[in-house]
């Protein structure tokens, strides 16, 4: 009997994925090229400035008229820090809350000194998942800089030095490691960037087909859906253990050699059922029927199973999620292919919106547009 392909499992812990939808009405800063002298310019063309040009630990960082002094010369270092006067741009007291101010401090390599300059001209601290922000939307000299939830406002838009220290992306993936960390600041370490990039070779057409916009849209769509399935890449295995014995279809000729309760949801797409473990394993050249635990112990294998579904399975839809994006059917069609029988056509609009919110956020991080047909 033909079995329905994997239906990705909605997170059973009851935890809702709380992803803030960034504003689509982006206010822009002047379109001048980045200043080769090292200035970071923001609202009203003012510069990010170290107060009184002091290199003392704890010196406030503020907005000020650009004057070309050393207090306004910043370097984007390859380790993700932003430096001036031999010190690092630092979030005071390692804060992550809205309104935490920024200052100058000895470089320590800590998470409160790491920044990502996005294609959308945001400067983001991945740990806090917040943007560098001019307090009160003010452009007055001496306005203190802080971190705040990213809104797309003009007081959060910056032009950073050209040729900065953003490390090259040796994987060739359209999502850099810094962007991945920004998307998933609280992720489980099992879901590593290196595991994801190691898995990409299994499906070389993924996020490499079509225009640059389409490539980024596909990566964002895939990551948004797996984010929804795993609570932001937090959960590696299905949380409701009572379901574990239910995923053995004894009608299959190969049975359940790993055990009756061995085929529960695992990995980014929550692979489940013995027949799906076998199908994915056969496609990937990995014996997952006998070794299903590989999906929760080997990061690359886990990512490969998610890419297997994305690129080869139609689920309750009419096309694979990969084809939905590259053929212009839109993000909504990927939802239909993953969990459409339970979510689409008004069955669960809140779950659909959760996926859309993540997708819109991720496309903004990647500096692209989400396109049309977002819902199903």
Residue 48 has pLDDT above 60, yes or no: yes
**How far is residue 288 from each of residues 247, 257, 276, measured CA to CA in Å?**
14, 10, 9
Ranges 11-20, 82-91, 219-228, most confident: 219-228
| Contact in structure between 88 and 82 (CB atoms under 8 Å) | yes
- Residue ranges of domains in the chain, CATH in brackets: 1-19+167-376 (1.10.530.10), 43-156 (2.80.10.50)
**Measured between alpha carbons, how far is 149 from 22 in angstroms, rounded to an integer?**
9
* pLDDT tens for each residue of 49-96: 999 999 899 999 999 999 888 899 898 887 788 999 889 999 999 999
Residues annotated as part of the active site = 229
- % of the chain exceeding 70 in pLDDT: 88
Output 92 or 18, whichever has higher pLDDT.
92
Q: What is the DSSP string of 163-206?
A: T--PPP-TT--SS-HHHHHHH-TT--TTS-HHHHHHHGGGSTTT
- The pLDDT confidence band at residue 169, using thresholds 50, 70 and 90, is low
**Measured between alpha carbons, how far is 51 from 189 in angstroms, rounded to an integer?**
38
| Contact in structure between 180 and 193 (CB atoms under 8 Å) | yes
**Measured between alpha carbons, how far is 28 from 23 in angstroms, rounded to an integer?**
13
**Measured between alpha carbons, how far is 239 from 245 in angstroms, rounded to an integer?**
13
Paired with 122 in beta bridges are: none
| Contact in structure between 218 and 329 (CB atoms under 8 Å) | no
* pLDDT tens for each residue of 302-314: 999 999 999 999 9
In Å, how far from its chain's centre is CA 209? 20
At residue 168, the pLDDT reads 46
| Contact in structure between 237 and 264 (CB atoms under 8 Å) | yes
């Amino acid at each position: 009997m033909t079995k329905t392909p994997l239906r990705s499992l909605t997170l059973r812990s009851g935890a809702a994925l709380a992803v803030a939808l960034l504003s689509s009405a982006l206010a822009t800063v002047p379109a001048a090229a980045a200043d080769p002298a090292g200035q970071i310019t923001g609202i009203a063309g003012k510069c990010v400035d170290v107060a009184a040009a002091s290199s003392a630990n704890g010196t406030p960082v503020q907005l000020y008229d650009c004057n070309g002094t050393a207090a306004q010369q910043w370097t984007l270092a390859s380790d993700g820090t932003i430096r001036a006067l031999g010190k690092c741009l630092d979030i005071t007291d390692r804060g992550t809350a809205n309104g935490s101010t920024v200052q100058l401090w000895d470089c320590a390599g800590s998470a409160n000194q790491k920044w990502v300059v996005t294609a959308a001209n945001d400067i983001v601290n991945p740990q806090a998942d917040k943007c560098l922000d001019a307090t009160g939307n003010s452009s007055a000299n001496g306005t203190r800089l802080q971190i705040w939830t990213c809104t797309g406002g003009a007081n959060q838009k910056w032009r950073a030095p050209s040729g900065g220290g953003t490390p090259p992306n040796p994987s060739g993936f359209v999502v850099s490691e810094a962007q991945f960390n920004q998307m998933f600041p609280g992720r489980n370490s099992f879901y590593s960037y290196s595991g994801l990039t190691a898995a990409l070779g299994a499906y070389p057409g993924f996020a490499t087909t079509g225009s640059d916009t389409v490539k980024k849209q596909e990566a964002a769509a895939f990551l948004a859906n797996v984010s929804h399935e795993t609570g932001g890449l937090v959960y590696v295995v299905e949380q409701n253990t009572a379901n574990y014995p239910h995923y053995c279809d004894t009608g299959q000729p190969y049975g359940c050699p790993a055990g009756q309760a061995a085929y529960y949801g695992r990995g980014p797409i929550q692979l489940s059922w013995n027949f799906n473990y076998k199908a994915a394993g056969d496609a990937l050249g990995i014996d997952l029927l006998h070794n299903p635990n590989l999906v929760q112990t080997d990061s690359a294998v886990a990512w490969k199973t998610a890419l297997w579904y994305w690129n080869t399975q139609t689920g309750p839809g009419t096309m694979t999620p990969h084809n939905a994006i590259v053929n212009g059917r839109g993000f909504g069609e990927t939802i239909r292919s993953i969990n459409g029988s339970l979510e689409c056509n008004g069955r669960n609009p809140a779950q659909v919106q959760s996926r859309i919110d993540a997708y819109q956020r991720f496309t903004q991080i990647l500096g692209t547009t989400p396109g049309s047909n977002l819902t199903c």
